[in-house]
Structure 1
Amino acid sequence: MSKLKLKGFLIACLLTGSQISFAQNIPSPKDHFGFSIGDDYQLANFTQTEAYFKKLAATSDRVKLVDIGKTEEDRTQYMLIVSSPENLKNLDRYKEISQKLAHAEGLTTAQAKALADEGKAVIWIDGGLHANETVGIHQLIETAWQLATKKDPETQKILKDVIILMTHANPDGQELISNWYMREKDPAKRTLSGVPRLYQKYIGHDNNRDFFMLNMKETQNIGRQLFVEWLPQIMYNHHQAGPAGTIVAGAPYRDPFNYVFDPVLMTSLDAVGAAMHNRLNAEDKPGYTQRNGSVFSTWYNGGLRTTTYFHNIIGLLTEIVGSPTPSEIPLVPARLLPNSDSPNPVTPQKWYFRQSIDYSVSLNYAVLNYAQRYKDELLFNIYLMGKNSIERGSKDSWTFSPKKLEAINLAYAKDQKAASGNNRAGMPVKYYDTVMKAPALKDARGYIISADQPDLTTSVRFLNALIKTGILVQKATADFSVGTKNYPKGSYIVKTDQAFRPHVLDMFEPQDHPNDFKYEGGAPIPPYDAAGWTLAYMMNVKFDRIMDNFNGPFERLNYGEVIKLNSGKVPSASGYTLNGSLNDSYYVVNDLLKAGVTVYRNLSDGSFYVPSSAKAKISIDQSAGKVGLTVHAAKTKPSSLQKITPSRIALWDTYGGSMSSGWVRWIMEQYHFNASVIYPEEIDKGNLKSKYDVIIFVGGAIPALQEGISVTNSGRSFGPKPEEVPEEYRNRLGRISQDKSIPKLKEFLDAGGDIVTIGSSTNLAYHLKLPVRNAMVEMTGNGEEKRLPAEKYYIPGSVLNVSFDTSQTANWGMEQHADVYFDNSPVFKIAPNAVSSGQIKPLAWFSTATPLRSGWAWGQAYLQDGVAAFEARSGKGKLVAFGPEITFRAQTHGTFKLLFNQLYNLNN
């Protein structure tokens, strides 16, 4: 052997030895945690996991640890980037390629193919979003360990061609849930049940419903990586649990899918789902079900998986069984017969945590293997879908929807009836043309949010939600005109000729959910989540839909760079006026009250009036400056003023935590309302008026009235036994009961307290024997009322339009017609004499037979003349009842004022 060859051989041996040494120094999960991932009765908490992630990054040249932001409880949220050492050295370039292809701007097909060939597939795998679904975070730990250490050919190929973003979705929740489970020394006593609070500080399970709004810090962190920084071609979101009698539910998913999607997205879902399903079958891992084998669809926007679809990202969800406590796969005979949804059924058996981990790792590898094999196709296809979106937004385009197809059928049926004939040859194309080529029915080319609109700060919050999800927004640098309308400098423009056009349309345009029934005349099939959610409607954003191409003095805002309004310094004046229709006015007013400044409400229009003082000027400058609110100098002092003071506010919650209550608590913190959380035990003790002026009950707090029951269980047994709960949480046990709690609430009202109820908690009106009744009923043959069946009336989460009595103080700042979020919500009929006597004041009602604005409203005509909200005198106090979800997931900014108006004391 020549000296040169010998030298090369020795260097190769040294390099190989160093790599082996490097891998041998990487601690296994058992080395670190003291148990293997998937061992029975064992869970890792976040403190331990954080330390392990740091060890992996420190000892493996395949792993980079990235801090993506803080959580709501101020922990660090991490993302592991896993790939070959060579790829990790060039992450900036591969991120740039991923961004360029996803945005699809200014690239020729040849350039896109070249970038796809050069780039690496970017694949997102997360875990732990729903922290009580413990497989999720533990499979992430195990997969990270395997990718960091395995040397088999498949792993080496994956590391060469794929960049894996392994993201911890909920550090706070893992710490809570794992510590709760592991608190028992005896493994046999360990349980995931009975956790005393939500596993995300405010919203618990709803942390998977926040991804077009990005309210929470964790979702903001994740959203930035998904939609601004990396834009992966595939994202995989792990969940639990699979349908009974199966092991795992996954892609592809059942209909309907959202009509704004590119068809390439849906067939890509089929392809990746087939790879996942096939790998399990090849590894003799039965029990995978898909499509109609589960309830999951691709209609909804707002979930971690589903929002990605509107960005041309292949979003994967699996729901798997499994727990650190061994469980059973039950016998479900209907699941045992093979079919196209479940070709390889699982038989009843004992099931262990490790089996779920192994399934999850196999599914991860199936996705990564697919990405490695079809790397250039994945990269090119996300460009192709973006390019298609840009082209559709650059010309006249029409999107199919059920209403448009219904219009075609109705037009044809009308002509057929007039002709008294029967065309068996098919429908003439003219019927298609009259709908799908009608200028008024084409898709918008863009939207303009004028700078002179009433609530600009809320509109900017809307725009920032778009920007944080990667949407391109433009701003006018000078006055301009489109058609016959003039717009001022500073107006915002969102065009549809961009890659994420599906998301733009989905945020501005109504969703048109199909009538989805098991069979004709049967019950409706519930959507997986909401049926309609048009954010511009729910936030009451005023915009113009522009149907033809338009341009102007527009500058592009940088992707991901949020808008910050500058309110400017408020001039010195004898007094200041804040518009009561603007949400951020309440933020400024609350800061003024906390500073000891006197504030009044103008009884004629609900605006706020603040007499001039040095303290007022300083507070206004600081608070208004933070939110960009314009505060006006008052020309004259209004003649009809009433001083306000902050109410002492109590917000109901329950053991284990209420998501609806958590959302309200978060909203109130954002707008600087002070509130105390109140639990049933405190309510049952009474004497509430000595501590509170107003109590808020969100949906789920007040049970339905049980007629003929004089004594009921007090609800103290609700939740675990007191001795099983740490002392600090025992006062949260119990629930609102008919025999103990309701009388105390009546005492509170009699003493002059106010109660605000939302959604199902408007049941309180029936407990108080107010002259109201359920409007959504029909008469039976024997003259009795019964609830309308779903076959006749069914409205899952959708946006409806209602009329408001704007003269009522409860409605200050509202318009005569406004959109509300409605989810089979309560609707009332009020006794006529109760209205004429002034005992009950209708606040909102359905004035038409067609109130649907976005979503699905089967039998909506039944709503006409039904009351959606009312205010009732009760003793010296009042009950305010809102049937619709006026604070829903902190998305419904257009109706926040309905709550805010109830949270001040008006003092004569």
Structure 2
Amino acid sequence: MIRQKLNLRPWGLLLFGLLISSMQVMGQKIPTPEEHFGFGMGQDYHISNYTQTEAYFKKVAGISDRAELVSIGKTEEGREQWMMIVTSPENHKNLQRFKDISVKMARAEELTEQEARELAEEGKAVVWIDGGLHSTETVGIHQLTETIYQILSRDDKENQRILDNVITLFVHANPDGHEKIGNWYMRNPEPEKRSLSGLPVLYQKYIGHDNNRDFYIQNMKESTNLGYQLFVEWIPQVMYNHHQRGPAGSVLAGPPYRDPFNYVFDPMMVTGIDAVGAAMYNRLNAENKPGFTRMNGSTFSTWYNGGLRTTTHYHNIIGILTEIVGGPNPESIPLVPDRLVPNANTPFPVTPQETWKFQQSIDYSVSLNYAVLDYAARNKDHLLYNIYSMGKGSIQRGSEDYWTPFPKKVEAIKTAYADSQKDNARGGNSRWGIPSVFYDSVYRAPEKRDPRGFIIPSDQEDFATAIKFVNALIKTGIRIEKASADFTVNGKRYPKGSYVVKTDQAFRPHIIDMFEPQDYPNDFQYPGGPPIRPYDAAGWTLAYQMNVTFDRVLEGFDGPFETLAYGELESPAPASLKESKSGYLISSVHNDAFAIANELLKKNIKVGRTTEATAGMPAGSFYVHANGYKVLVDYGKQFGINISEAKSEPKGVQYIKPSRVALYDNYGGSMPSGWVRWILEQYNFDFQLIFPKEIDNGNLNAKYDAILFISGGIPSVGSSGGSRGPDESNIPAEYRHMVGSLSTDKSIPQLRRFMENGGKVVAVGSASILAYHMELPVKNALVEIQRDGSERPLAGEKYYVPGSVLQTRMNTNLGATYGMNDYAYVLFNNNPVFKFKPEAKLQGLEVLSWFDTQTPLRSGWAWGEAYLEDGITGFSAPIGKGSLIVYTPEITYRAQSHGTFKLLFNQLYK
């Protein structure tokens, strides 16, 4: 069945039509993929596109009484995103009841133990299986199609047991990417010459492969669609996220995963993953399908939040990831001697194979799907009860004093004991180990408890951005309360409209993770050895990244709070505005002030920026001419930010115009640039993409005022530049202007000329090495002095900061930092850090931001962070008539770092 609206008609005719339709459906056979696509799922040198797959899904859903096809929303490019719900015809009659049970058990609210047991018996396991999130990983969508065919057509006992006891949500994770990759690969009429390489653009609009890093904030439409089903609508007990590729010398990597797991998890999350994982590799072993590696056999852990699979862990959903080899072009399983001997990581090694076929990967994947579904069918009551139990445990931990066992707390115990031994002190009696008084000093210390809740005041500087943070929580199924009147907690008064997020709820792990620092353990290959890189970021606390003001409350509290409906987003209260003959002021602390200013400028309304604090607003605030009233009423007030009437035009106001902005991109697409593309669109900035050829052709000042380089593109010093890209003759003509890369001999001189003639270049993240190409008086701050006086970059054993949140000091006396506070949270990922040479001041370089402490880490992992003290993270440098603006941290990180967006926005006017 395809869910759609029926036209009203006489009941008799409708019933007759349904009866005829039912009789026709019962007589139809489910077409095989080969019958529909013209090739089987797994046939070498053949892959599908989305248009074909959507048609197949509709076809089989229209035939089978086991399937219902549901649209879960539109994609960024406007395609329909489908989810197929598969279960027995009998279960379909009571689908809403089973969905209600799934959600009620996951939330674990107002259920007695007996009621939970009864619902576990009555309900059906809900299992999510997706495919195609990373579109170049072509096994994903083809195994999904093949599994759907098999479960709709098979009538064996196992399949029937699954249909009777499981509701399976088959989800297409990336329609846009599927269409692009399918069409790109199949464009060559000669099968053996087909290749997945060379796609000119990111396969998902804006973000490509980073679509699996968007799930705790859900900026993209696809992420929002998927998140709503996972965290609001269905809340399955198990979700299975298919990926590629397995470590060399194996066929696939899967559960259980290596340490560390995140310490906020319920223990049953970790053991639940173990249980499902055991069913998966046991099935492969029984079917003589070797090559499954797990734990330390791969790099995958359960620490990171933000992935389609990993965010589910913080919601008590057993999230499963596999990474398998294979694709439409036959490949090999290489010889890796160290993987040939069985061990706990790889109990059944695969032998080297010269030819590995696409079909083998599909067969493995279908077996893995059935292993998960069969486990769910046999343990559906356990899965339902266990998600309830995890939720109930979270509610309890959020309702009483609790201390999450973070590594820093353990280190505090060791330090306290070591200090006591130095003083020859004794801390209590114990048969062995450290006396328990040292445990009590940390795990019974009232001030070190986890919070019972968080309050987000409505009178904070940029409340509109705080509402965006609240909406990120709402999208992930968090219960939010809102104050209907002023209230007081712990002697502090909070205004009406403030938000309250209490931790006595089932998804407490996610709440803690979004507000509190991540405490990543020191993780090295061996004591004193090099660090082991985290799977992704080590720290990401979203409240920090978005610069949200909040208070941690350690005691239980209440007030005039209204509970918001799950999944319904909040909008700012419209700003009130009176007509003024003197104009209007909008504070520069508001990110949304830039969106309003840009809309005004597009309508030729005069907009200026103040050069000093005015009417209680900081320097850099926007002054809007009086004739902007209508635009402000129609457009500006919807943002819910304070728009004040100006008493007069501020002294020293500088009127602005939008810069002609170029955003650097490359053939194949840049993800950091893509995120910025999305950000600029959200805030109404006009821009053009610029590619290496255009830079090399020069005459840049005639077209642009500012060029942005975001975390990439700049060649390293001493190199000639990167690969020139694919052969132009092999790509469509409309993409050939993208081919190439920046070079030191041609591109860098053109960028210098652009700045010398008055242009501005903004270099962010790794692109900040452009400073060296410009031969500015700066040097690497992260070095150690050798005996001969030379400098050598710090080794990983001494200094290592993977993706983590650090605090940097801001120079707020300059236009580049308008709207910023004295300190900012920045996402830092082993980025460059500079020091000025003595002549820097004479050449006019100005520090914009720097580390002013030996302990800048706020969330994540920073080994040797003391080396960062006094290191410069942002500066401006005059170059001829123009300038270079450098920020080494990721100030636009995955469109999450709202707290530092202004550092980019301030550069986009003239």
Bin for the TM-score computed over the shorter chain = over 0.9
Shift of 1:622: 2.5
Match of 1:730 in 2: 736
Shift of 1:607: 3.5
Mind listing any 5+ residue stretches in structure 1 that lack a counterpart?
Answer: 1-14
Shift of 1:718: 2.1
Shift of 1:118: 0.8
Match of 1:117 in 2: 121
The DSSP-based 3-state class of the residue aligned with 1:303 is coil
Match of 1:83 in 2: 87
8 Å contact from structure 1 (residues 72, 218) kept in 2: yes
8 Å contact from structure 1 (residues 158, 372) kept in 2: yes
The DSSP-based 3-state class of the residue aligned with 1:635 is coil
Q: 2:625, 2:426 → 1: CA distance?
A: 78
Which of these residues, 713, 716, 724, is aligned with residue 704 of structure 1?
Answer: 716
Match of 2:876 in 1: 871
1:789-868 aligned at under 5 Å gives the runs 789-835=795-841, 837=842, 839-868=844-873
Match of 1:542 in 2: 549
Match of 2:688 in 1: 676
Match of 1:687 in 2: 699
1:400-419 aligned at under 5 Å gives the runs 400-419=405-424
The DSSP-based 3-state class of the residue aligned with 1:163 is strand
Match of 1:582 in 2: 590
Shift of 1:492: 0.5
Match of 1:783 in 2: 789
1:370-381 aligned at under 5 Å gives the runs 370-381=375-386
Q: 2:44, 2:115 → 1: CA distance?
A: 52
8 Å contact from structure 2 (residues 141, 172) kept in 1: yes
The answer to whether 1:772 aligns with 2:784 is no
One-letter amino acid matched to 2:570: I
Percentage identity across aligned positions?
Answer: 59
One-letter amino acid matched to 1:619: V
421 and 432 in structure 1: CA distance in 2 versus 1, 3 angstrom threshold: closer
The answer to whether 1:651 aligns with 2:642 is no
8 Å contact from structure 1 (residues 577, 607) kept in 2: no
Q: 1:838, 1:390 → 2: CA distance?
A: 59
Q: 2:731, 2:785 → 1: CA distance?
A: 48
Q: 1:609, 1:804 → 2: CA distance?
A: 21
8 Å contact from structure 2 (residues 290, 348) kept in 1: yes
Match of 2:621 in 1: 608
Match of 2:7 in 1: none
One-letter amino acid matched to 1:695: I
One-letter amino acid matched to 2:739: L
- Compare 617-626 and 353-362 and name the one that shifted more: 617-626
Q: 1:266, 1:468 → 2: CA distance?
A: 24
Match of 1:629 in 2: 641
The DSSP-based 3-state class of the residue aligned with 1:227 is helix
Match of 2:370 in 1: 365
568 and 813 in structure 1: CA distance in 2 versus 1, 3 angstrom threshold: closer
Match of 2:455 in 1: 448
For residues 761-809 of structure 1, give each alpha carbon's deviation from its aligned partner in whole angstroms, at most 9, with x where no partner exists. 1111100100001101111222211110000000000000010110011
Q: 2:237, 2:386 → 1: CA distance?
A: 9
Match of 1:186 in 2: 190
For residues 523-566 of structure 1, give each alpha carbon's deviation from its aligned partner in whole angstroms, at most 9, with x where no partner exists. 00000000000000000000011010100000000000111112
The answer to whether 1:525 aligns with 2:532 is yes
Q: 1:486, 1:670 → 2: CA distance?
A: 34
For residues 9-28 of structure 1, give each alpha carbon's deviation from its aligned partner in whole angstroms, at most 9, with x where no partner exists. xxxxxx9xx99973752211
One-letter amino acid matched to 2:727: K
Q: 1:420, 1:550 → 2: CA distance?
A: 40
Shift of 1:625: 3.4
Match of 2:615 in 1: none
8 Å contact from structure 1 (residues 567, 630) kept in 2: no
Q: 1:583, 1:470 → 2: CA distance?
A: 26
The DSSP-based 3-state class of the residue aligned with 1:818 is strand
374 and 611 in structure 1: CA distance in 2 versus 1, 3 angstrom threshold: closer
Q: 1:833, 1:737 → 2: CA distance?
A: 28
Which of these residues, 740, 752, 763, is aligned with residue 758 of structure 2?
Answer: 752
One-letter amino acid matched to 1:653: D
8 Å contact from structure 2 (residues 783, 792) kept in 1: yes
For residues 58-112 of structure 1, give each alpha carbon's deviation from its aligned partner in whole angstroms, at most 9, with x where no partner exists. 0111111000011111111000001011111211111111111111111001011
113 and 420 in structure 1: CA distance in 2 versus 1, 3 angstrom threshold: closer
Q: 1:418, 1:564 → 2: CA distance?
A: 58
Q: 2:243, 2:63 → 1: CA distance?
A: 29
Q: 1:319, 1:609 → 2: CA distance?
A: 50
146 and 611 in structure 1: CA distance in 2 versus 1, 3 angstrom threshold: closer
For residues 707-756 of structure 1, give each alpha carbon's deviation from its aligned partner in whole angstroms, at most 9, with x where no partner exists. xx7xx46x5x5221010111011110100100000000011001000000
8 Å contact from structure 1 (residues 23, 60) kept in 2: no
8 Å contact from structure 2 (residues 250, 293) kept in 1: yes
8 Å contact from structure 1 (residues 62, 84) kept in 2: yes
8 Å contact from structure 2 (residues 598, 685) kept in 1: yes
8 Å contact from structure 1 (residues 811, 897) kept in 2: yes
418 and 681 in structure 1: CA distance in 2 versus 1, 3 angstrom threshold: same
Q: 1:631, 1:91 → 2: CA distance?
A: 49
Q: 1:281, 1:231 → 2: CA distance?
A: 31
For residues 37-64 of structure 1, give each alpha carbon's deviation from its aligned partner in whole angstroms, at most 9, with x where no partner exists. 1011110100000000000110111111
Q: 1:388, 1:783 → 2: CA distance?
A: 58
Match of 1:385 in 2: 390
Which of these residues, 99, 119, 125, is aligned with residue 103 of structure 2?
Answer: 99
Shift of 1:313: 0.3
The answer to whether 1:345 aligns with 2:313 is no
Q: 2:195, 2:861 → 1: CA distance?
A: 40
For residues 476-502 of structure 1, give each alpha carbon's deviation from its aligned partner in whole angstroms, at most 9, with x where no partner exists. 011110011001111110000000000
Match of 1:10 in 2: none
The DSSP-based 3-state class of the residue aligned with 1:419 is coil
The answer to whether 1:250 aligns with 2:257 is no
Q: 1:623, 1:834 → 2: CA distance?
A: 45
Q: 1:696, 1:20 → 2: CA distance?
A: 60
Mind listing any 5+ residue stretches in structure 2 that lack a counterpart?
Answer: 1-18, 613-617
8 Å contact from structure 2 (residues 588, 622) kept in 1: no
TM-score for the superposition, normalised by structure 1: 0.96
Shift of 1:833: 3.0
The DSSP-based 3-state class of the residue aligned with 1:590 is helix
Q: 1:601, 1:230 → 2: CA distance?
A: 48
68 and 275 in structure 1: CA distance in 2 versus 1, 3 angstrom threshold: same
One-letter amino acid matched to 1:523: P
The DSSP-based 3-state class of the residue aligned with 1:241 is coil
The answer to whether 1:665 aligns with 2:670 is no
Match of 1:487 in 2: 494
The answer to whether 1:428 aligns with 2:443 is no
One-letter amino acid matched to 1:589: A
Shift of 1:155: 0.3
Match of 2:725 in 1: 719
1:75-224 aligned at under 5 Å gives the runs 75-224=79-228
Match of 2:651 in 1: 639
8 Å contact from structure 1 (residues 250, 273) kept in 2: yes
Q: 2:319, 2:269 → 1: CA distance?
A: 9
One-letter amino acid matched to 2:455: I
Q: 2:362, 2:828 → 1: CA distance?
A: 39
The DSSP-based 3-state class of the residue aligned with 2:635 is helix
TM-score for the superposition, normalised by structure 2: 0.96
8 Å contact from structure 1 (residues 869, 880) kept in 2: yes
The answer to whether 1:890 aligns with 2:903 is no
